[in-house]
Structure 1
Amino acid sequence: MGFGDFVRRHAADTRPLGIPAYRRLWAGQGVSFIGFQLTSVAGSAQLYAITKSSFWVGMLGPANLIPLVVFGLWGGAVADAVDRRKLLMIGAVIAWAATLALLVQAALGATNVGLLLATVAVHATGFAITGPTRGAIIPRLVPGDLVPAANTLNFLASSLGTVVGPLLGGVVLARGGFAVAYLIDAVLFGAGFYAAVRLPRLEPLGETARPGLRSVVDGLRYVAGHPVVLMSFAVDVIAMAFALPRALFPEIVDERFAGSPVAFGWLSASIAIGSLLGGLLSGWVGRVRRQGLALTYVIAAWGLSVAAAGLVDQLWLMVALLAFGGAADLVSAVWRQTILQTHAPDDMRGRMQGVFTVVVAGGPRLGDLRAGVTASWFGATGAWVGGGLACAVAVLAVGLAVPAFRAYRPAVRSL
């Protein structure tokens, strides 16, 4: 096989970028997500600087999780009943206002932990609204056969932001401080908002249910009634809640790398570096047929790579091992998103994406909480390594135990 054949078979499928509305949304999301990640890194570092406690860094988990659960499910229900373009803009403005509040607090030197956590919760509210809305928009912008490619490109853009954001954060925090980090996020926000403004009107198709508790419950019943969809959520919760070591980064950097902001930036970017590389070589992902079985194995690989990273002291090796796990996580995310978008009808996609947002964004917050609490019991290294091993064991036990998920093969239809 020549180099050209290798590229055609394995490089990311870029055909969705030929659609102008999708291309603008993709580019705007990519730019604004750099700022979002910069704020996430700055928030963790600021909270640790105030408290010197991984437990309080772990409390960023519930501060994010509660609004993600409430407004993610509600936002998905609303996305099935209103113009998705308008809802995307509303959620973006809420997140932007929270970023400005973080900027003001940092500029004034505020050290109130409760106020910081409350502002983070408002920021998560905006994300909880925009996440499911954006996911529900994708199948309206691209043909059904390009949905997996569009999802891969979305995750690729997010991964790039998650690499650039933390690396930029390490430099900014070392030279400019927390306020400068939040200011950069506030500026980059404009790219995502411009992309939302330029979208066409996206009114609901067919009959719509009034957004509220009943429509949310209908969405959850849909999940419960489809074992493959339910399992796609379950394995992701296992991956993030058990193995994600993010809340331990500040303490590990303090213990092993003399508190270096640059080391903190590299660790924070490491998982996304792997996701970025995995996305660039993702042409094969759409050709995998036994996706349930493959999901189980790649999440087990994620857990083992995290555990291995916790056992080494060299920064480059920790980054490399976490990057390997990040590549596995990117592949699993593409398959899970595609399962949802190709199973659910349009009038249910918003709610499915709401649940997806709760799980994808909420799972890491549970992971933060788990890491912070277990670190207070077993130390940072014990919490890190033990979580990775528990993830691998749990996902193999659960994923292989459900026949419908183990045998699942996609049947992509016209959307």
Structure 2
Amino acid sequence: MISDSLIALSTLILAMLFLIGYDALWLLFVVSAVRALGTGVQTPAVGAFLPQLVPGDKLTKANATYGSLQSLVMLASPMLSGALMTMAPIETIFFIDVVTAAIAVSILLLFLKAPVHAKALDKQEISYFDDMRKGFAYIKNHDYVKTFFLFVAIFMILAAPVAFLTPLQVTRSFGNDVWRLTAIEITFSIGMMAGGVMMASWGGFKNRVYTMVLANLATGVCTFALGIIPVFWLYLVVMGMIGIAMPVFNTPSTVLLQEKVEENYLGRVFGVFGMITSSMMPLGMLVFGPIADVIEIEWLLIGTGVLLVVQSLIMLGNKVLIKAGSPLPQAQAEAEE
């Protein structure tokens, strides 16, 4: 609630400044940074919070449903915002953002009664840096977390071209029509929603790492295909398949941490997980972006697609990850019942 309120407050200040005529561009960057700070607090908090509300055997469905809702919002919000901008000034849209945030926080405050987790019940001095140090020490001392984070980081770097360079590829290879760029974004978002629904109903393999390997392999094959497909409608189909693969990878990876990391360290581990997932793709683009002006994007997609397939095979042979992905005895017994 605090992080959402911080985001809303920064937007409210921005809206008021715009209303009085102070609309300097640098303000948008400052507010974006504040909003990112709030999101950086909220995202790991949500990941650590869901196990307090949801039974262990329902975590996959809960996370998949949550992911589908996020995908729906990502698809609908730009459309709605674009439509609103044809009818109202930007300040009005800022105020709408503040009001919707206030409604969301009010719902949490009034209707959600959350159990207090064990660490919060202990009397302790709050030390940000000490907590952060303990979080990194926990990751260092648990091989499966270290290995898991390494594979996720590599996946994010290798997925950077398909995530960021495909609009440029479409412009160069198929034409710069607006509808083409819109089509790949919509297709990808619809794919993500479909993947979330599929995970909510299927749940994935009993060993969560096998599900991640399947998604990693599918992403690699589809990324390779995007580098060789000459027909745009086939390109859209493959882009939709990559969208489906994203929740199939993200959902079991989130549930794996929720199940295996000790409750007292869950928020800190998710904080590091958030840093990795949000930073690796931009870092990848620092490499692949300049290369895309020298080497054809198709070749970058083919190369990263092959590497993703290789990573899938390495994951499949990693004993630490496979052991970590095995279901907990209690969860397995509940599933069999």
- Equivalence for 1:5: none
1:242 aligns with 2:158: yes
Structure ID, larger Rg: 2
- Equivalence for 2:256: 339
1:372 aligns with 2:289: yes
1:125 is aligned, of 33, 37, 44, to: 37
Alpha carbons of 1:362 and 1:106: their partners in 2 closer, same or farther (altered >3 Å)?
Answer: farther
Q: Distance in 1 between matches of 2:270 and 2:72?
A: 22
* CA shift digits 1:228-271 (9 cap, x unpaired): 33333222222221123333255345435654444333322333
Aligned 1:67-146 pairs, distance under 5 A: 89-99=1-11, 117-146=29-58
Match of 1:288, SS? Answer: coil
1:271 aligns with 2:183: no
Q: Distance in 1 between matches of 2:281 and 2:149?
A: 13
* CA shift digits 1:104-153 (9 cap, x unpaired): 899989795x7655543332111101111112221112222222221121
1:332: Cα distance to partner? 1.7
Q: Distance in 2 between matches of 1:128 and 1:273?
A: 25
Alpha carbons of 1:160 and 1:287: their partners in 2 closer, same or farther (altered >3 Å)?
Answer: same
Root mean square deviation, CA, Å = 3.6
Q: Structure 1 counterpart of 2:148, which letter?
A: S
Q: Structure 2 counterpart of 1:93, which letter?
A: S
1:200 aligns with 2:117: no
- Equivalence for 1:286: 203
Contact 2:217 2:312 in 1 (8 A): yes
Alpha carbons of 1:165 and 1:227: their partners in 2 closer, same or farther (altered >3 Å)?
Answer: farther
User: Mind listing any 5+ residue stretches in structure 2 that lack a counterpart?
Assistant: 332-337
1:386 aligns with 2:298: no
* CA shift digits 1:267-290 (9 cap, x unpaired): 223333222112222256436223
Q: Distance in 2 between matches of 1:165 and 1:376?
A: 32
Contact 1:173 1:261 in 2 (8 A): no
1:302: Cα distance to partner? 0.9
- Equivalence for 1:223: 139
- Equivalence for 2:319: 403
2:65 is aligned, of 132, 153, 167, to: 153
1:342: Cα distance to partner? 1.2
User: Mind listing any 5+ residue stretches in structure 1 that lack a counterpart?
Assistant: 1-88
Match of 1:321, SS? Answer: helix
Contact 1:285 1:331 in 2 (8 A): no
Provide the aligned length of Structure 1 versus Structure 2. 323
Alpha carbons of 1:105 and 1:318: their partners in 2 closer, same or farther (altered >3 Å)?
Answer: farther
Moved more, 214-223 or 91-100: 91-100
Contact 2:226 2:298 in 1 (8 A): no
Moved more, 101-110 or 142-151: 101-110
1:213 aligns with 2:129: yes
- Equivalence for 2:335: none
Q: Distance in 2 between matches of 1:210 and 1:109?
A: 39
- Equivalence for 1:86: none
* CA shift digits 1:216-239 (9 cap, x unpaired): 121122223323333332222222
1:341: Cα distance to partner? 1.0
Alpha carbons of 1:297 and 1:224: their partners in 2 closer, same or farther (altered >3 Å)?
Answer: farther
Alpha carbons of 1:194 and 1:279: their partners in 2 closer, same or farther (altered >3 Å)?
Answer: same
Q: Distance in 1 between matches of 2:22 and 2:228?
A: 37
Alpha carbons of 1:128 and 1:263: their partners in 2 closer, same or farther (altered >3 Å)?
Answer: same
Contact 2:75 2:186 in 1 (8 A): yes
Contact 2:5 2:102 in 1 (8 A): no
- Equivalence for 1:326: 243
Contact 2:7 2:34 in 1 (8 A): yes
Q: What fraction of aligned residue pairs are identical, expressed as a percent?
A: 23
Moved more, 242-251 or 124-133: 242-251
* CA shift digits 1:22-65 (9 cap, x unpaired): xxxxxxxxxxxxxxxxxxxxxxxxxxxxxxxxxxxxxxxxxxxx
1:302 aligns with 2:214: no
Moved more, 350-359 or 282-291: 282-291
Match of 1:282, SS? Answer: helix
- Equivalence for 2:334: none
Contact 1:271 1:323 in 2 (8 A): yes
* CA shift digits 1:93-112 (9 cap, x unpaired): 33334556777899989795
Q: Distance in 2 between matches of 1:142 and 1:211?
A: 29
Contact 1:241 1:364 in 2 (8 A): yes
